[in-house]
Amino acid sequence: MSSVRVAGTGLTSFGEYPERTSRDLFAEASATALADSDVPRDDVDAVLYGNFMGELSEHQGHQGPLMAEAAGVTAPATRYEAACASSGMALRDAVIRLRNGECDVVLVGGAERMTNLGTAGATEALAIAADDLWEVRAGMTFPGAYALMATAYFETYGGDREDLAHIAAKNHENALTNEKAQYQRALSVEDVLEAPTVSSPLGLYDSCPLSDGAAAVVLVSEAYADEHDLDAPVAITGTGQGGDRMALHDREYLARSPAAREAGEQAYADAEIGPEDVDLAEVHDCFTIAEVLALEALDLEQVGEGISAARDGRTTPDGDTPINLSGGLKAKGHPVGATGVSQVAEVATLLAGDHPNSEYVEGATTGVAHNAGGTVASAVVHVLEVVA
């Protein structure tokens, strides 16, 4: 089985760019990734692209070939949609294609244009990742859904808003050095607690922002990397995917993420590692409670203990397992279709020593990227390791 190397990464800045189209954003990210990889465009065997709301925000479907064209690539292209896990799913498929020998070079990425819809329009567009018949028509939005999950967690395991505020403050602190982050400003725990309530117990700063942006990575087979003498020291050694019932009321748990647990167990087994081997992780913190659920699903924290991890310093840059050194979705931003690939790009650069926050994980060899769709009805997890 062929190893999969990360040959190049490319990110736009995440933020509010309502005048920029997704194709414009992806053209920038893919050009950066290809230049970073030293891989000629003619060598790309496939373009795999994640996007969630293009039909709603840009009246544009069939985006695969459009984005290949934007990247200057003539290879066959496919668009993936799995809500917030869209490009994570695309990346998983890229890994599988490279492993089975179907491809030697894959350009994989994603983009989203959201802010041109305005807050109300983007909120409505995001809501369709929930069950339309039983949730959306009843007025459910994702702040409300994650508020239900947070309430269930507090009632089952304990914790409070101050614990969540430590997560937000940590991730904003991490983003200060990330030039691609949407919010490069610090928040104190008090700032988070004093912010307006959005959906109790979640406040304004418990939520990630609406974001525009794109991400891309060039993945290559080990044989291609060796043949072309590429500088690609980080490999994707594990991949996994899990699922859960779509609507919250149909699930066995509100305070756990079985889909993420399934994906994590698969990825660990695939990479032949355990959670104790993980040095750092980028997890899907669309809301502060989501980071807690992700840590516990990935066995980086015991069930019921993830709520205190940031407050007690276990997930801070100088903690046992730094989490979301990029700033996470919370501060770096969440252009939905780009997020999964951007997480992998962040982990790869952290492990390679090329990230502004690599100093906190010097000597680290293993990282995890966790990408979730909706209220974690879909989840994909990747393990990355330094192999050269």
> What DSSP character marks residue 286?
S
Domain spans of the chain?
Answer: 4-117+209-386
Q: How many whole angstroms from its chain centre is CA 221?
A: 23
pLDDT at 1: 52
Catalytic residue among 84, 103, 208, 286: 84
d(CA 40, CA 35): 8
pLDDT at 2: 63
pLDDT at 3: 83
Write the CA distances from 224 to 4, 93, 109, 220, 238, integer angstroms: 10, 18, 20, 6, 19
Amino acid, single-letter form, for residue 62: H
Sign of torsion over alpha carbons 10, 291, 198, 55: positive
Domain boundaries 4-117+209-386, CATH class? alpha beta
DSSP of 74-143, one letter per residue? -S-EEEE-BTBTHHHHHHHHHHHHHHTTS-SEEEEEEEE--GGGHHHHHHHHHHTTS-TTTTGGGT--HH
Active-site annotation holds for 286: no
Nearest Cα to Cα of residue 234 among 115, 368, 48, 61: 368
Cβ atoms of residues 129 and 83 within 8 Å: yes
d(CA 209, CA 229): 40
Active-site annotation holds for 334: yes
CA dihedral angle for residue 51, residue 52, residue 56, residue 60, rounded to 10 degrees = 30
Q: Which helix (H) or strand (E) holds 9?
A: strand 4-11
Q: How many whole angstroms from its chain centre is CA 350?
A: 15
DSSP of 188-227, one letter per residue? -HHHHHHSPEEETTEEGGGBPPP-BEEEEEEEEEHHHHHH
Catalytic residue among 166, 334, 355, 370: 334
pLDDT-flagged residues of the chain (< 70): 1-2
> 316, exposed or middle or buried, with CB in 10 Å at 0-12, 13-18, 19+?
buried
Q: How many whole angstroms from its chain centre is CA 383?
A: 13
Cβ atoms of residues 319 and 339 within 8 Å: no
